[in-house]
A and B are shown apart, each in its own frame.
Chain A
Amino acid sequence: MKRIAGIIVVLLGAAAGVLWADALSINGAGASFPNPIYTKWFDEYHKKNPNIQINYQSIGSGGGIKQVTEGTVDFGASDGPMNDEQLKAYQDKHGSPILHFPTVLGAVVPTYNIPGVDATLNFTGEALAAIYLGKVTKWNDPLIADANKGVKLPSEDIVVVHRADGSGTSYCFTDYLSKVSEEWKTKVGKGTSPNWPVGLGGKGSEGVTGTVKNTPNSIGYVELIYAEANKIPYGNVKNADGVFLKASLASVTAAASGAVKDMPADFRVSITNAKGKAAYPISTFTWLLIPEKFSDSAKRDAIKGFVTWMLGDGQNYTEALSYARLPKEVVAKEKKALAEIQ
């Protein structure tokens, strides 16, 4: 018996020890929102370059920032840009800066479950802020009803649902609410884990949609890709130009185009409530966080090669997974920035 166990252990050890010596292994960590498209991209890139294995794990934007700063992964990914404090921390630790590269665009949509109401509802920014602040408590409140003339809204209490776990989705949503509501800005502010005044917390988008589905008269927010993949009905949101828009790939890309003129060189920009008739107001970039200096030249070349591919052919995979592609102007800017990586 002991001998058998011993043999098994040795065999396992041998099997585990075989080295795939030729493959270059690169590790990345971060945002979960773009995980589906990143998985697709890294897989496609691996097919084209079999000796390059890019292993991406979605442990969360905060995790991505932390791990790339610690140096345990080669690159990071985040739904919200790193703030100055985090940039400085990276610079202090590594002696050179870290760069942001937008990859795709996403959007956050309001979902709801009102028995008897099948229509697509219109939401103004003020209405959403008031609901999530707990100031508007009934569905037939004028703030909601005025934008939905012709729809019979019940006088039921609104059950508010938000994300319990820290997420880029919450960051984008609260960033938008801070821009359209002064009260939200001062009372709650924007963040991945804001101090929600009211509501139930669902874990993950799965938790939020599950709760909304099972709770009559509830409202929640999820990523567009999530709503599309699960065929969840969602409402229109009024944009900065006064148009009620349904989130779509086109309207999200339009939001980015609108923001291009004022985009800073480091791409750290919020595009919520962007100008433009066709711009969907709750949109966001998601970024790859790539060090400017690499000690390993093979890794550097592999990553640069990937980003170049991502900005070109890679963008063609976005629509199928309900991500909005980057506008041409942003792609051009990124190609220039890529040259800075040494």
Chain B
Amino acid sequence: MLTLTGVCAAVSVLALFLILGYLVVRGGASLNWAFFTRLPVPVGEVGGGMANAIVGSAKLLLFATLVGVPIGFLGAIYLAEFSGSKMAFVVRYAADLLNGVPSIVIGIFAYALAVLPFKQFSTLAGGFALGLMMIPITLRSTEEFLRSVPNSLREGAMALGASKWKMIATVIVPAAYRGILTAILLAFARVAGETAPLIFTAFGNNYWSAGWTQPTASLPVTIYNYALSPYEDWHRQAWAGGLVLLGLILMINIVARGILSRGISVSRS
């Protein structure tokens, strides 16, 4: 029975390596210095790159994290530590509903709220849409990890006279930090690859996007446009773009877990 679980894990990892392998084989050749530093060029010309898409994605994800993580994290703290069961039920339900909304519908929603009133596509609108999508995963997972901290820690802190918020900030959150970080990184990974919400919010840009209120290129949208085009060269760039996207997420994962690794963690058997 236990070996069966090993098989399950093997299958899952195999899927990932197949995908990575495909991207490397099809797109590896397009990864050169120009790819990271040049703007896209029309089809038929060589030497183009996705520099603006890479920077654009970074800006979008930064703003998305600023929007989604605080709401998800602080909301989870409320659910795990302060709320009664009725409110918790409602909030959890709402988060699950939000999670099930197709990304394109989130895009429409963000379009109505952040683009139409200003008659302007912008990085902020795109980041807002992505941030909305980060909330449910962050909230639900963080709540689970906060709750999984053993009561003994809570009781110990309160026995020493700590006020509730001090207990949360200095005992519970650090105890659950691994899981919380997992939650945030999972949400981040999810929105990093999303295309549909960006089409109607960040729009796209073939040039550099100045500031935060202009349309901007992004890796997923560029990959999407290139992958569905008729040109083999653009296809190769799309796979290269996919590789870069995954590489960036992997790096962020490693860096985040590395830098933020500290102190207390619940013991593993």
A contacts, CB < 8 Å to B:
1, 9, 12, 16-20, 23, 25, 27, 29, 35-36, 39-40, 42-43, 53, 55-59, 63, 70-73, 203-206, 223, 225-226, 229-230, 320-321
Which single residue of chain A is at the shortest CB-CB distance from B206? Answer: A55
Say whether A36 contacts B207, CB under 8 Å.
Answer: no
Say whether B260 contacts A1, CB under 8 Å.
Answer: yes
Question: Shortest beta-carbon distance, B259 to chain A, in Å?
Answer: 6
Chain A residues, CB < 8 A from B212: 16-17
Answer whether residue B6 sits at the interface, using C-beta atoms and an 8 A cutoff: no
Cα(A71)–Cα(B227), bound, Å: 29
28 A–B contact pairs at CB < 8 A?
Answer: A1-B260, A12-B58, A16-B212, A17-B210, A18-B211, A20-B210, A35-B229, A36-B229, A36-B230, A36-B231, A39-B42, A39-B43, A39-B206, A40-B42, A43-B42, A43-B206, A55-B206, A55-B207, A57-B199, A57-B215, A58-B225, A59-B203, A70-B119, A72-B115, A206-B229, A223-B230, A226-B230, A230-B232
Question: Shortest beta-carbon distance, B24 to chain A, in Å?
Answer: 21
Residue from B43, B203, B210 within 8 A of A29 (CB atoms): B203
- Per the 8 Å Cβ criterion, residues 10-68 of B in contact with A are 41-44, 58-59, 62
Answer whether residue B99 sits at the interface, using C-beta atoms and an 8 A cutoff: no
Answer whether residue B265 sits at the interface, using C-beta atoms and an 8 A cutoff: no
* 16 further contact pairs, Cβ within 8 A, besides A25-B214, A53-B206, A321-B44: A1-B259, A12-B62, A17-B211, A27-B121, A35-B225, A36-B42, A39-B206, A53-B207, A55-B205, A70-B116, A71-B119, A72-B115, A223-B230, A230-B232, A320-B44, A321-B43
- Give the A-B pair count, Cβ closer than 8 A: 90
Say whether B44 contacts A16, CB under 8 Å.
Answer: no
* Consensus secondary structure, chain B interface: loop
Chain B residues, CB < 8 A from A18: 210-211
Answer whether residue B97 sits at the interface, using C-beta atoms and an 8 A cutoff: no
Say whether A59 contacts B199, CB under 8 Å.
Answer: yes
Say whether A27 contacts B215, CB under 8 Å.
Answer: yes
Cα(A42)–Cα(B205), bound, Å: 12
Answer whether residue B120 sits at the interface, using C-beta atoms and an 8 A cutoff: yes
- Per the 8 Å Cβ criterion, residues 98-121 of B in contact with A are 115-116, 119-121
Chain A residues, CB < 8 A from B208: 20
Chain B residues, CB < 8 A from A205: 228, 230
Cα(A43)–Cα(B210), bound, Å: 18
Supposing A20-B210, A43-B41, A43-B42 touch, asked if A229 and B119 sit within 8 A by C-beta, the answer is no
Which single residue of chain A is at the shortest CB-CB distance from B62? Answer: A12
Say whether B203 contacts A27, CB under 8 Å.
Answer: yes
Answer whether residue B131 sits at the interface, using C-beta atoms and an 8 A cutoff: no
Cα(A206)–Cα(B232), bound, Å: 11
Supposing A1-B259, A1-B260, A204-B228 touch, asked if A19 and B59 sit within 8 A by C-beta, the answer is no
Cα(A72)–Cα(B120), bound, Å: 5
Chain A residues, CB < 8 A from B204: 55, 57
Say whether B62 contacts A36, CB under 8 Å.
Answer: no
Residue from A9, A58, A59, A229 within 8 A of B230 (CB atoms): A229
Question: Shortest beta-carbon distance, A43 to chain B, in Å?
Answer: 5
Chain B residues, CB < 8 A from A25: 207, 214
Residue from A16, A23, A56, A59 within 8 A of B206 (CB atoms): A56
What is the 8 Å Cβ interface bit string for chain B, positions 105-141, against chain A (1 contact, 0 not)? 0000000000110011101000000000000000000
Say whether B230 contacts A230, CB under 8 Å.
Answer: yes
Question: Shortest beta-carbon distance, A205 to chain B, in Å?
Answer: 6
Supposing A16-B212, A20-B208, A55-B215 touch, asked if A72 and B119 sit within 8 A by C-beta, the answer is yes
Question: Shortest beta-carbon distance, B169 to chain A, in Å?
Answer: 14
